[in-house]
């Protein structure tokens, strides 16, 4: 295969890989968001991390509800830190 023929093939494969990666990342983010009230503490921990990275003002009411619901002190403390960080970033 000549270089000219290989370039469009490479660009098409790269574009398909990027699109597939984007779709998988969106699915992962959606799953992380729903795990905030999961049964397992590690999933809730991961969801708090996702909200810390990706959250905006829309997640603040959800995090406040979570604080009332959560019974694990370490996760409550982490949620308070996430709320404080989001409020500072939005101010």
- Per-residue pLDDT of 47-61, as tens digits, reads 998 888 887 888 899
Mean pLDDT of 58-83: 93
Residue 19 has pLDDT above 90, yes or no: no
Instruction: Please tell me the predicted confidence (pLDDT) of residue 80.
Output: 96
Contact 86, 55 (CB under 8 A): yes
pLDDT score at 83: 94
Spatial distance between the Cα atoms of 52 and 57, rounded to a whole number of angstroms = 11
Token pair 């970033």 is at which residue?
Answer: 89
State the average pLDDT over residues 33-62: 87
What is the sign, positive or negative, of the torsion defined by CA atoms of 47, 53, 55, 59?
Answer: positive
Return d(Cα 55, Cα 80) in angstroms, integer.
Answer: 14
* pLDDT of res. 81: 95
Rounded mean pLDDT, 51-72 = 89
The residue assigned the tokens 């983010």 is 29
What would the mean pLDDT of 4-21 be, rounded to a whole number?
82
Q: What is the pLDDT of residue 1?
A: 63
Q: What pLDDT is recorded for position 32?
A: 63
Half-sphere exposure of 87 (CA within 13 A, CB side): 10
- H or E stretch covering 48: helix 41-54
């Amino acid at each position: 295969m000549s270089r000219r023929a290989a370039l469009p093939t490479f660009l098409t494969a790269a574009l398909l890989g990027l699109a597939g990666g984007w779709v998988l990342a969106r699915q992962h983010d959606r799953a992380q968001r729903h795990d905030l009230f999961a049964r397992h503490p590690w999933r809730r921990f991961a969801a708090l991390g996702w909200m810390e990275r990706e959250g905006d003002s829309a997640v603040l009411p959800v995090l406040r509800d979570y604080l009332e619901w959560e019974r694990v002190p370490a996760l409550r403390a982490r949620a308070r830190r996430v709320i404080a960080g989001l409020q500072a970033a939005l101010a």
